[in-house]
Amino acid sequence: MTKGDRVKIRFKGREVEGVVVLASENGNSLALEFEALLGGYAGMMPVLDWGDGYRDLVTNSPVEITKL
């Protein structure tokens, strides 16, 4: 994923659309922006790819991200 990509974010049973606002060169570290409350996050969520998929940085819970 790269900066500017539109994405679908699924986290803790809820799904919203958002955009990648920050991305590391290899795409392993992302900041996602969305207009919603999502699992305790208000409008933005940092995620990291641990090798088994993306996880949020606060609770280490899985985050499914699909490019739109």
DSSP letters spanning 1-22: --TT-EEEEEETTEEEEEEEEE
| Count, residues in the chain | 68
Confirm whether pTM is higher than 0.95: no
Tokens 């280490």 belong to which residue? 60
Which pair of tokens denotes residue 53?
């998929």
Whether the CB-CB separation of 32 and 7 falls below 8 Å is answered with yes
Specify the higher pLDDT residue, 47 or 1.
47
| pLDDT tens digits, one per residue of 2-45 | 999 999 999 999 999 999 999 999 999 999 999 999 999 999 99
